[in-house]
Structure 1
Amino acid sequence: MPERRSASWFGLDGKLGFVHRSKLYNRGGSPEMFDGRPVIGIASSASDLAPCNAHLRQVAEAVKRGVLMAGGVPMEFPTISIGETLMRPSAMLFRNLMAMDVEETLRANPLDGVVLLGGCDKTVPAQVMGALSVDLPTVMVTGGPALNGRFRGEAVGSGTHVWKFSEEVRAGRMSACEFRSAEACLSRSAGHCTTMGTASTMACVTEALGLSLPGSATIPAVDAGRARIAEQAGQRIVAMADEGLAPSRFLDRRSFENAVRVNAAIGGSTNAVVHLLAMAGRAEVDLALDDFDRLAADVPLLVDLLPSGRFLMEEFHDAGGLPAVIRELGDLVDGAAMTINGRTLAENCADAPNWRPEVVRSRKDPVAPPGSHTAVLRGNLAPDGAVLKLSAASPELTRHTGPALVFDTIEDYDAQKDSPELPVTPDTVLVVRNAGPVGYPGMPEIGNLAIPKKMLDQGVRDMVRITDGRMSGTSYGTVVLHVAPEAAAGGPLALLRSGDRVTLDVPARRLEMDVPEAELTARASGSADSFKKAPTRGAGWAGLYRSQVNQADTGADLDFLTGRRGHAVPRRPF
């Protein structure tokens, strides 16, 4: 058994030991709290400002029960909570700040292990990033999806149906009153999005990495099974503290390769790319953007879920959840990768049943064949890469050439999208730039641009769209995202002008603008009115973020945060 880190606080004699122990007696505890039992942190992102995370207070109570049952001392503490639904300008702006919060709280306090509680999109990667840098024994417990939405007798999914309904209103096929009445129908319970959006994706990806207990990702938030798995996590983290089982002892290249392949099999969010790259950077695992294309090339889409399929997370859980997918993937994943319970991924899933084969499909009868994953594109518009989710794109648009219609901000686009004078045809390539990590700042989810009203009236439902920003995992369409380098950092997207011909060729993995190199050089030298310099740094967190953030192709972490820095005991306070 390793020496308890918490003993450097609670095992001291004299004044320091007195101070550290004395205040904790106000909890009504006894001296047995300090007899060498493992002290377990419970990092909770519960917040009324992040509706997907509000129920985590109850989940924390279940974790505490498990810690106590296993003989540990639970210490719950709050972290920043970042939710997609309310935060502006983008929750992504605050992912790295939340990771810093988690990292420094873990390092500064007498903890022997930690259970992370997160739900909404950015909270899970943020907490994992912080914990990986500290490298304490760690278990991730996600909050679980909400119950399926129901509207007019039919199942409706978070996000995906919002985008669908809003376009129906703009096309005149749904009234504003009907649209408003659907609001509460999509949010029937506590929990995160019911589709395979980013929250569901990151829960599944974290389980695939081996950082969550098997079967935990898909349990609905209000299911009693969510409390049971949280209690089991509390028990397991005590054993991990006894074993000294930190992430660095089992999380390796195989783990991340498995996560990439699982992301392809479930039709996961494009946001998983930027989050997994950042998490790998903290774990000091060599993972690159091109790996998402290469590793997933032979992986079929197996899970029939919105936005790439028909069903929702409740049905996925009923089918058997992620273990059913991993068992079906078989030799497409590395089953020898270790997980938090001390067993391999293959051992965890060897007997996993699939109760609903129409939801979790077989490799012989997939939702879509291999090659339907997130494609990585390169060319003179994106020399460092861009991504496109093939399973959510229109096949006829994956080879397309058309004139660009360029907007410098999403606000510019929104102000003009419904104008009958907008110079747009079905062949037009819509471009919104200055939406990357530096440019917005924070890389917002604006990529799934609303189709111009003029096109909706003609029956057009998809167009090629390009941005250096992101899109929600619940979105769909032929959308090129994460263009790197971004426009605000001097990337070639800043040089594109309306009328330039743009070619998207997904089979060839190309994204090109048909502009001579000499003309691009002239535009870059300042002759183009549309060229925008990177914004000034500014003040506060946004200023620090803009000055230090990496580009999307490496995970958009802050450059001084990558890597493990360990959990050495801080210097004494007196």
Structure 2
Amino acid sequence: MPHRKKDRLSIERRASAPEADPLRLGTGWTKSDLDKPWALIECAGGDSHPCAVHLPELARAVRDGIIEAGGAPAIYHCTDMCDGIAQGTEAMNYSLASREVLAMASELHARTGHFDCVVFISGCDKSVPAHLIAAARLRMPALLMPGGVMQPGPSEMTLDMVGTHYSRLKRRKMTKKEYQFYSEHACPTAGSCAFLGTANTMQILAEALGMALPGSALLPAGYMMQIRMARRTGKSALTLFDKRITADKIITQSAIENAVVVHAAIGGSTNALLHLPAIAHELGLKFSLEMVSEINNRVPHILNVRPSGMHPTSLIWAAGGVPAILRELSRYVHLDALTVTGETVGQNLADLEREGYFQNIPRFLENYSLGTIDIIRPVTDPLSETGGIAVLRGNIAPDGAVMKRSAVVKEMLKFAGRARVFDVAEKALKAIYQKEIKPGDALVIRYQGPRSNGMPELFYITEAISSDKTLNRNVALITDGRFSGGSKGPCIGHVSPEAADRGPIAVIEDGDRILIDVEIGRLDLIGTGEREHTPTQVKRILKKRLEKLPEYKPPERAGLLGLYTGRCAAAHLGAYLR
């Protein structure tokens, strides 16, 4: 079937740019390709990490699908950094800023190449949200091919356990030989790390938003069915083009709410609460921590995978994947939300039911003597009656803070502790290893927000606490920074306003009394030293301290980090580049 010519950007731009045709022919296109719809394949592939290394193969399959559907494909690359490689070093300061770089690169490629539609290929922490931000910004026919998931290593080893093993090695609870063995085999295949960190969370949310084909998220990397899915994705881009279905018609208010519902039910990474508002911002859609709190208080936690559950995320797809999660959550999601199939969420689920998808795919779980119910719990018998995220507010976090309550032991959901304050994360980590942090301490690490230093993850600090049996049930961590999706324990992040914006966290002092009450969503300073104070007295104390606080002077930074820290929005707004 011939593709529509009306409103085709490639035809319009070629008419005013005569050099475009010979330059495309110079890349190997044929003369007949020039008259087809031009399709950008924006690929995050590269040798940067296992989640990116196999993406060029998927790009070739997408290209085949586009050609089969009568389009002219062009593969462009911009790979992402690896948070794991950057972890624990100053390189991690670039992580959140890198999201903006990938989004801008995608925008650059699409706008300057005169393309009619886009397929994004990505699978990791920043590349997936970057591509979703770009899709929203471009408002073109677009969809995403997720990169899929890695297989676990020996003893179901997943990468999040390396930090735990390293902490055990530092404490001489593990031999160097043992540590080296697990380290060498923690990433046995390509794909995103096999725990529910940010990468897997965002792949799931891409499909929940309707921006990826049903069943495409978290396919095991290297499976031939992933290659076939990539080919289908390429063909679907031309269908979206012909039907004039652009990304802004898919990423609607209903889609955003569906994503928050799914995020609550899976116990997803808190980093998604930086990415979803940034996506919503591109389209002027509503997103707030109040919405997150309301949804998490009524949607149950049903996904039994690490770090909040038992199993590696490589089994999610085998349990039926995102379609099975959406089917279980059908009473909570907008079934009338449009998706990249051209049909609604509800229609997609009905189609899959007719095809036998929900009966056939879970047969892969028989290899592990498991059933769907072992991975995806029914909403009538969930892991928890409430969703994975708690939103906290109080005199320490007037604009909010977030916590993954699904990864917290019950006795730490209400905690009163004495503040141990650090302005440098490395000093806090050293204090933990040197046993200067004691049971009952509330570790406060500040000047880690977007404006301070780019908002790095504090993964090694959370692992140092969670791997120490004397601390993991009686020490809390509070920061204006953020955490890895693999973090466990009472870790409260994204405290807003951040210290660099003169938020109250900037004037918390050693020995202050801090109360965390997850049930009522509070994070408060309640006393100083051994004395407790009334809320009015605390308000007065914080006001006096803030009046004496010197103006924050950011360090001189050139290049990307200087640009980002100088122009980024607050964490609760999505930390996007303004």
Q: Counterpart of 2:398 in 1: which secondary structure?
A: strand
Separation in structure 1 between the aligned mates of residue 143 and residue 50 of structure 2, nearest angstrom: 22
Q: Post-superposition shift, 1:263?
A: 0.7
- What is the percent sequence identity of the aligned residues? 33
1:432 aligns with 2:445: yes
Separation in structure 1 between the aligned mates of residue 40 and residue 387 of structure 2, nearest angstrom: 40
- Residues 238-249 of structure 1 aligned to structure 2 (within 5 Å): 238-249=238-249
User: What residue is the counterpart of 2:424 in the other structure?
Assistant: 409
Q: Counterpart of 1:258 in 2: which secondary structure?
A: helix
User: What residue is the counterpart of 2:413 in the other structure?
Assistant: 398
- Residues 363-374 of structure 1 aligned to structure 2 (within 5 Å): 363-369=379-385, 371-374=386-389
Gapped regions of structure 2 (runs ≥ 5): 363-371, 528-537
Q: Counterpart of 1:330 in 2: which secondary structure?
A: coil
Separation in structure 2 between the aligned mates of residue 532 and residue 312 of structure 1, nearest angstrom: 46
Separation in structure 2 between the aligned mates of residue 464 and residue 177 of structure 1, nearest angstrom: 32
Q: Counterpart of 1:426 in 2: which secondary structure?
A: coil
- CA deviation vs aligned residue, 1:449-498 (integer Å, no higher than 9, x gap): 25778993747556211111111111111100100111122111110001
Q: Counterpart of 1:139 in 2: which secondary structure?
A: strand
2:358 paired residue among 353, 360, 374: 353
User: What residue is the counterpart of 2:43 in the other structure?
Assistant: 44
- Residues 34-433 of structure 1 aligned to structure 2 (within 5 Å): 34-35=34-35, 37-87=36-86, 88-90=91-93, 91-150=95-154, 154-159=155-160, 161-350=161-350, 351=353, 353=358, 355=362, 356-369=372-385, 371-420=386-435, 422=436, 424-433=437-446
- CA deviation vs aligned residue, 1:376-425 (integer Å, no higher than 9, x gap): 100110000000111001210111111000011102212322224x2x33
Q: Kindly indicate whether the alpha-carbon contact (under 8 Å) linking 2:463 and 2:488 is maintained by their aligned counterparts in 1.
A: no
CA distance change for structure 1 residues 416 and 202 in 2, over 3 Å: closer, same or farther?
A: same
Q: Kindly indicate whether the alpha-carbon contact (under 8 Å) linking 1:266 and 1:303 is maintained by their aligned counterparts in 2.
A: yes
User: What residue is the counterpart of 1:568 in the other structure?
Assistant: none
User: What residue is the counterpart of 2:495 in the other structure?
Assistant: 483
- Counterpart residue identity of residue 490, structure 1: R
Q: Counterpart of 1:226 in 2: which secondary structure?
A: helix
- Counterpart residue identity of residue 379, structure 2: R
Q: Counterpart of 1:543 in 2: which secondary structure?
A: helix
Name whichever of 328-337 and 207-216 sits farther off: 328-337
Q: Counterpart of 1:388 in 2: which secondary structure?
A: strand
Separation in structure 1 between the aligned mates of residue 421 and residue 187 of structure 2, nearest angstrom: 35
Q: Post-superposition shift, 1:256?
A: 0.5
CA distance change for structure 1 residues 176 and 524 in 2, over 3 Å: closer, same or farther?
A: same
**TM-score normalised by the chain length of structure 2:** 0.90
Q: Kindly indicate whether the alpha-carbon contact (under 8 Å) linking 1:98 and 1:123 is maintained by their aligned counterparts in 2.
A: yes
Q: Kindly indicate whether the alpha-carbon contact (under 8 Å) linking 1:10 and 1:34 is maintained by their aligned counterparts in 2.
A: no
Name whichever of 211-220 and 448-457 sits farther off: 448-457
Q: Figure out how many residues of one structure are paired with residues of the other and give that number.
A: 543
- CA deviation vs aligned residue, 1:171-190 (integer Å, no higher than 9, x gap): 43212221121112210001
Q: Post-superposition shift, 1:266?
A: 1.3
CA distance change for structure 1 residues 482 and 11 in 2, over 3 Å: closer, same or farther?
A: same
Q: Kindly indicate whether the alpha-carbon contact (under 8 Å) linking 1:82 and 1:95 is maintained by their aligned counterparts in 2.
A: no
Separation in structure 2 between the aligned mates of residue 40 and residue 458 of structure 1, nearest angstrom: 56
Separation in structure 2 between the aligned mates of residue 454 and residue 208 of structure 1, nearest angstrom: 31
- Counterpart residue identity of residue 257, structure 2: E
Gapped regions of structure 1 (runs ≥ 5): 560-574
2:561 paired residue among 542, 553, 564: 542
- Residues 476-515 of structure 1 aligned to structure 2 (within 5 Å): 476-514=488-526
Separation in structure 1 between the aligned mates of residue 428 and residue 306 of structure 2, nearest angstrom: 27
CA distance change for structure 1 residues 459 and 393 in 2, over 3 Å: closer, same or farther?
A: closer
Q: Post-superposition shift, 1:307?
A: 0.5
CA distance change for structure 1 residues 3 and 523 in 2, over 3 Å: closer, same or farther?
A: same
Q: Counterpart of 2:48 in 1: which secondary structure?
A: coil
CA distance change for structure 1 residues 419 and 148 in 2, over 3 Å: closer, same or farther?
A: closer
Separation in structure 2 between the aligned mates of residue 455 and residue 406 of structure 1, nearest angstrom: 21
Q: Kindly indicate whether the alpha-carbon contact (under 8 Å) linking 1:394 and 1:462 is maintained by their aligned counterparts in 2.
A: no
1:10 aligns with 2:14: yes
CA distance change for structure 1 residues 20 and 452 in 2, over 3 Å: closer, same or farther?
A: closer
Q: Post-superposition shift, 1:260?
A: 0.3
CA distance change for structure 1 residues 250 and 456 in 2, over 3 Å: closer, same or farther?
A: closer
2:576 paired residue among 557, 560, 571: 557
Separation in structure 2 between the aligned mates of residue 425 and residue 26 of structure 1, nearest angstrom: 66
Q: Counterpart of 1:40 in 2: which secondary structure?
A: strand
Q: Kindly indicate whether the alpha-carbon contact (under 8 Å) linking 1:382 and 1:484 is maintained by their aligned counterparts in 2.
A: yes
Q: Post-superposition shift, 1:447?
A: 5.6
Q: Post-superposition shift, 1:89?
A: 2.8
